Amino acid sequence: MKKPDIINQHTGGSWAYSSMVKSHFFNPRNLLWKIPNERESKKFDAEGLVGSPACGDVMRVWLNIDPKTERIKEFKWRTFGCASAIAATSMLSVMATEKGGMKIERALEIKPQDIMKRLGGLPDRKVHCSVLGDKALRAAINDWFKKHEKFDRILVEGSRLIDPNTKVTEADIEEAVLEGATTLAAVQKRTKVGVGYKECLPQVEELIRFYREKYFGPDGTAGTAARTKHGKRGNRNFKQSAAVHPNARRRRTTHGR
């Protein structure tokens, strides 16, 4: 068993980080050490800002994109977050800019497990931290679309109302799964969804399956690095998710709608 890096003194829980996670935490790539002022901000084409209520993390991303090739040439970022959030965004910035820069459409397809694979895994309780960077990246790309009047390409991150009684949204279900509630009972305990409105439960179960596969992989272990000396769990932890959202397509909006 790998020696833990962190031990919770209250619960006794522990987890370990891969050498790649430590490398990107102690030596973050493409980090901006201070927020650019108004003059400095003008050298960037786009900016995205997101926050995660789950752990108080806030992520800010700045991009430079070649308008002819639509390749990401520069990816700078800052965060108020934990080691996993820092390492995940540092790795994402490398992925987006290496080999001449990733095209926008390809960058929009990056999933949290893609980042975790490059990092050698993250502790299960830290999987949600890998989501911040790619959400901020999408926000920045949307900002670029707006500035270049490509309104038909703007992505809408929906928060459909799932339970009108408890006001639980799709985003609430996603957040619950990211925090480890991967069964209907666990999600209900956390969100109270379906209490008094059982008609929504089949839809809730669909969303749980979708987000569980999206963030944890087909076998539910994408966030966990191999724990044995002989790697018995192997690379199956990082299989590409084939999850398809219940809506079956990415929601988009067009100018004037």
- Residues marked active site are found at 55, 129
Phi (first) and psi of residue 197, to 5 degrees: -145, 70
Evaluate whether 237 touches 121 at the Cβ level (below 8 Å): yes
Residue 242 to residue 245: CA distance in whole angstroms? 10
Residue 233 to residue 212: CA distance in whole angstroms? 18
Residue 197 to residue 191: CA distance in whole angstroms? 13
| In the block, residue with structure tokens 């209907």 | 184
Residue 81 to residue 87: CA distance in whole angstroms? 10
Q: Take residue 169 and report the two structure tokens written for it.
A: 């949204």
Q: Take residue 172 and report the two structure tokens written for it.
A: 């609430």
> Secondary structure of the chain: what % helix, strand, coil (to 5)?
40, 15, 45
List b or e across 14-38, with b for residues whose CB sees 16 or more CB atoms inside 10 angstroms: ebbbbeebbbbbeebbbeeeeeeee
Residue 253 to residue 16: CA distance in whole angstroms? 42
Q: Take residue 154 and report the two structure tokens written for it.
A: 């703007």
Cα first-last separation, the chain: 55
